[in-house]
């Protein structure tokens, strides 16, 4: 459960939004919403007529003008309220995060290893610090030594502590979290003011919210429509006077406000903010609104296996010697390859050997050259004076043995395949040019993925698992997790190639991963989602961070992205259809008194021209707060193919948008009749 769930729409947020709506009447602030700015201009004009009736020759129309002014004022307030309400929750989150950010002291390590206590604000990129049990992590960084459990709940809301260690996919620490066991040495990776928490605060606060390209384009369209309707309404004056009618200025303003897209104009930014906010409440941090919208258009998802589909705590589970090799011979070599291998896999080999009560003398393995694991070589090893030990992906070890003139036994393939068919990862172990057997690494698939991938399939989205692991293991895990396709034996450049290939087919690609080997692909993808547990490289390459490191979250993000696009589309359709209807509701009423033939068009039988205008204007204002819940919550939808969904929404919101104003205006007119 996310720690943001307690930011419900409570009373104080509501009151604060009310206050902000008044503050936003400031024309300079309102200028960024051109449609409402025009409404405000109209309101000011009507106010001037009320204040100086003699100048404007409107002395006899004071009360009518006053009502028009009030409705216009409320139209703007409602629009401001929608945006303020959407912003409110983010601001509350930001405040709570700022509390996490309190200054603390850090133990900075000098070159000679001595400690120096400095305020966290003085830490700079590259500093080496020691964090011990009970200490708060004073800044973002990468673990270089030690293992510790870290409580990240202040940032992620997740209460289970996370084990952080060097040289693994779990090596990043975030400022504001707390070390609750042991100690770690951390290399600081962000200067103060540029930390993860800082970025998170600016994001949820929405202070520097950038409109997504879609939103900006729609905004331009609304401005163009506003200008067109201004021209239409202004040209109405000479036309009317030609046929012998004078239309009052306040009525013209009312007509203009009814015609320009005030509904979508006032809800547009609220829809965007609420979408971002919904993503955050799912504990995913989107770096931009654009990323959220793009998520809504995703047609292919690429997931890495270890750490994303599985928990990524791959551990040695069994030693399997080849025939003619004893277990202790195999273990001797396996220990040799792992003694200096700092990956969790390497460490798990030692742990498992100890559990089997093997003992060894570290000196025996001393003085050699360490070959560290890399995703590129897929091996790790130790070169000693008289021999060398390697472990790694079976294909790599076989190639290595062949290179130095050895030959792998025929039985090797069937043994390693057996491990792989169970979903395990076989690591082949060799000493010199002789293969000794396998280490069976076991990992667990995160539960509940199959159903989630089924949902994606229903939406027409393809899932591809991409892994550095061997084909058989990949196939087993792919089948158990329920992905559509898989690609095995992928090196880092292989993962990015898969992304590019899908993009070349015209797909929008999301990639989710946690390792440094995933970083290039995360950056290339249209939406890159890094696990918060992952490495700094992965998190920097991504445009979203999944705070609870749950790959199924990507589905929610896609849902929210789709919902954002659908909500904006639906409310735009509704708003434009509405304005169209209002035109037919008021125009006949205005002209009726002068051109009796127009009566045939007056299907609504409104009471009088004046009540017709006021009813339309009141409806135009009230529809804004009426739609705020939909804008905030998003349009509900079921997973289905995009085209079908679009058609359905156009039908509902388009036809609804045409009919509802007729009903609404008629109802308001009937109420107004009672006062006339
Ligand atoms: N410490 C290690 N020593 C030797 N070989 C290893 C070690 N860790 C992993 N391997 C081998 O290298 C392969 C690639 O590992 P890598 O971490 O790049 O990808 P992965 O974790 O298997 O897959 P994914 O890309 O899904 O995370 C593994 O499948 C395994 O065969
Ligand atoms: K309107
Ligand atoms: Mg990985």
Residues 438 and 475 in one domain: no
Neighbours of 445 (CB within 10 A): 17
Residues 504 and 454 in one domain: yes
Q: Does 117 score more than 60 pLDDT?
A: yes
Rounded to 10°, the helix 609-633/553-592 angle is 180
Domain interval for residue 55: 11-93+204-281+558-673
Among 422, 442, 462, residue at a domain's last position: 442
Annotated binding-site residue? 408: no
163 falls within a domain: no
158 falls within a domain: no
ipTM: 0.94
Residues 277 and 295 in one domain: no
188 falls within a domain: no
Rounded to 10°, the helix 62-100/11-23 angle is 120
DSSP character for 61? G
Residues 332 and 436 in one domain: yes
Cα 484 from chain centre: 23
Q: Does 549 score more than 90 pLDDT?
A: no
Residue ID of nearest Cα to ligand 1 atom 29? 469
Q: SS3 for 128?
A: strand
| pLDDT at residue number 642 | 66
Integer CA distances (angstroms), 144 to 108, 147, 351, 382, 652, in order: 14, 9, 21, 21, 57
Ligand 1 mean position, distance from CA 378 (Å): 6
Non-local (6+) Cβ contacts of 425 within 8 A are 314, 419, 440, 441, 442, 443, 469, 470, 473
> For 155-164, 438-447, 490-499, which range has the lowest pLDDT when averaged over its residues?
155-164
Q: Does 175 score more than 70 pLDDT?
A: yes
Residues 419 and 319 in one domain: yes
159 falls within a domain: no
- Residues facing 486 on adjacent strands: 465
Among 495, 514, 547, residue at a domain's last position: 547
Query: What's the domain count of the chain?
Result: 3
pLDDT band at 1 (very low <50, low <70, confident <90, very high): very low
Residues 41 and 19 in one domain: yes
Residues 339 and 360 in one domain: yes
Among 388, 409, 442, residue at a domain's last position: 442
Q: Which ligand is nearest to the CA of 490?
A: 1
Nearest to 589 by CA among 576, 608, 564, 615: 608
Residues 208 and 83 in one domain: yes
Mean predicted confidence (pLDDT) in 147-163: 84
Q: Does 263 score more than 80 pLDDT?
A: yes
Residues 299 and 219 in one domain: no
Residues with CB under 6 A from ligand 1: 304-307, 341, 343, 345-346, 373, 375, 378-380, 391-393, 425, 427, 467-469, 515, 517
CA angle 247, 253, 255 (to 5 degrees): 75
169 falls within a domain: no
Reported as a single tens digit per residue, the pLDDT across 310-337 is 888 889 999 999 999 999 999 999 999 9
174 falls within a domain: no
Beta carbons of 527 and 291 less than 8 angstroms apart: yes
Q: What percent of the chain has pLDDT over 70?
A: 96
Q: Does 366 score more than 60 pLDDT?
A: yes
Question: What is the rounded distance in angstroms from the CA atom of residue 170 to the CA atom of residue 308?
Answer: 12
| Signed CA dihedral, 599, 604, 605, 611: sign only | negative
Mutate to test the pocket of ligand 1, among 309, 310, 315, 373 (most ligand atoms within 8 A of CB): 373
215 falls within a domain: yes
Annotated binding-site residue? 579: no
Nearest to 521 by CA among 172, 286, 513: 513
The CATH number given to whatever domain includes residue 422 is 3.40.1110.10
Ligand 3 mean position, distance from CA 493 (Å): 14
Active site residue 388: no
Reported as a single tens digit per residue, the pLDDT across 588-604 is 777 766 676 766 667 77
| pLDDT at residue number 6 | 40
> For 64-73, 112-121, 240-249, 622-631, which range has the lowest pLDDT when averaged over its residues?
240-249
Task: From the candidates 151, 304, 388, 579, give the one annotated as an active-site residue.
Answer: 304
Q: What percent of the chain has pLDDT over 90?
A: 59
217 falls within a domain: yes
Note residues around ion ligand 2 (Cβ under 5 angstroms): 262, 579, 620
CA atoms within 13 A on the CB side of 536: 21
Reported as a single tens digit per residue, the pLDDT across 506-523 is 999 999 998 888 999 999
Ligand 3 mean position, distance from CA 305 (Å): 6
Residues 641 and 512 in one domain: no
Integer CA distances (angstroms), 591 to 25, 283, 672, in order: 34, 56, 20
> For 33-42, 45-54, 151-160, which range has the lowest pLDDT when averaged over its residues?
151-160
Residues 435 and 328 in one domain: yes
Annotated binding-site residue? 342: no
Neighbours of 243 (CB within 10 A): 9
The CATH number given to whatever domain includes residue 517 is 3.40.50.1000
Residues 658 and 510 in one domain: no
Annotated binding-site residue? 341: yes
């Amino acid at each position: 459960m996310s720690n943001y769930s307690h930011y419900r729409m409570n009373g104080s947020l509501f009151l604060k939004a009310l206050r902000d709506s008044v503050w936003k009447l400031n024309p300079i602030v309102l200028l960024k919403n051109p449609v409402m700015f025009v409404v405000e201009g109209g309101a000011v004009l009507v106010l001037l007529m009320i204040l100086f009736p003699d100048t404007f020759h409107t002395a006899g129309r004071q009360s009518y003008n006053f009502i028009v002014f009030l409705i216009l004022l409320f139209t703007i307030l409602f629009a401001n309220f929608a945006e303020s309400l959407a912003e409110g929750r983010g601001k509350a989150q930001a405040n709570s995060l700022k509390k996490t950010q309190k200054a603390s002291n850090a133990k900075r390590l000098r070159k000679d290893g001595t400690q120096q206590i400095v305020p966290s604000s003085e830490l700079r990129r590259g500093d080496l610090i020691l964090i011990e049990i009970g200490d708060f992590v004073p800044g973002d960084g990468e673990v270089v030594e030690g293992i510790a459990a870290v409580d990240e709940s202040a940032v992620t809301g997740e209460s289970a502590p996370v084990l952080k260690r060097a040289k693994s996919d779990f090596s990043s620490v975030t400022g504001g979290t707390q070390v609750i066991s042991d100690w770690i040495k951390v290399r600081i990776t962000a200067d103060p003011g540029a930390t993860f928490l800082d970025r998170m605060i600016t994001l949820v606060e929405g202070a520097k919210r950038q409109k997504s390209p879609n939103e900006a384009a729609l905004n331009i369209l609304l401005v163009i429509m506003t200008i067109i309707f201004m021209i239409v309404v202004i040209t109405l004056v000479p036309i009317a006077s030609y046929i012998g009618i004078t239309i009052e200025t306040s009525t013209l303003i009312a007509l203009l406000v009814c015609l320009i897209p005030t509904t979508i104009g006032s809800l547009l930014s609220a829809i965007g903010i609420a979408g971002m906010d919904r993503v955050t409440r799912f504990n995913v941090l989107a770096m931009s609104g654009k990323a959220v919208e793009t998520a809504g258009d995703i047609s292919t998802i690429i997931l890495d296996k270890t750490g994303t589909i599985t928990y990524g705590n791959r551990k040695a589970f069994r030693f399997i010697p080849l025939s003619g090799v004893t277990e202790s011979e195999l273990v001797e070599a396996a220990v040799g390859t792992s003694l200096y291998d700092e990956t969790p896999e390497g460490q798990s080999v030692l742990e498992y050997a100890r559990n089997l009560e093997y003992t060894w003398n570290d000196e025996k393995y001393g003085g050699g050259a360490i070959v560290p694991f890399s995703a590129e070589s897929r091996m790790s090893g130790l070169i000693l004076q008289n021999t060398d030990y390697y472990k790694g992906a079976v294909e790599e070890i076989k190639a290595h043995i062949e290179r130095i003139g050895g030959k792998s036994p025929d039985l090797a393939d069937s043994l390693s395949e057996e491990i792989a068919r169970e979903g395990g990862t076989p690591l082949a172990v060799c000493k010199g040019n002789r293969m000794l057997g396998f280490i069976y690494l076991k990992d667990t698939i995160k539960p509940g993925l199959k159903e989630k991938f089924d949902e994606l399939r229903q939406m027409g989205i393809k899932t591809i698992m991409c892994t550095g692991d061997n084909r058989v293991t990949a196939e087993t895990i792919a089948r158990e997790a329920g992905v559509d396709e898989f690609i095995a034996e992928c090196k880092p450049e292989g993962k990015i190639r898969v992304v590019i290939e899908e993009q070349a087919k015209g797909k929008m690609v999301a990639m989710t991963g946690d390792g440094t080997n995933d970083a290039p692909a995360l950056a290339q993808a249209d939406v890159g989602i890094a696990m918060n547990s992952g490495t700094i490289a992965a998190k920097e390459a991504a445009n979203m961070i999944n705070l609870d490191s749950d790959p199924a979250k990507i589905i929610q993000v896609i849902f929210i992205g789709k919902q954002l696009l659908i909500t904006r589309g639906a409310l735009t359709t509704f708003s434009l259809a509405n304005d169209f209807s209002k035109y037919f509701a008021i125009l006949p009423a205005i002209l009726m008194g002068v051109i009796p033939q127009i009566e045939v068009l007056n299907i609504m039988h409104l009471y009088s021209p004046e009540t017709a205008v006021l009813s339309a204007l009141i409806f135009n204002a009230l529809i804004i707060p009426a739609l705020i819940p939909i804008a905030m919550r998003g349009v509900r939808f079921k997973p289905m193919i995009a085209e079908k969904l679009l058609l359905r929404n156009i039908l509902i919101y388009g036809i609804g948008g045409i009919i509802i104003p007729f009903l609404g205006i008629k109802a308001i007119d009937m109420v107004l009749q009672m006062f006339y």
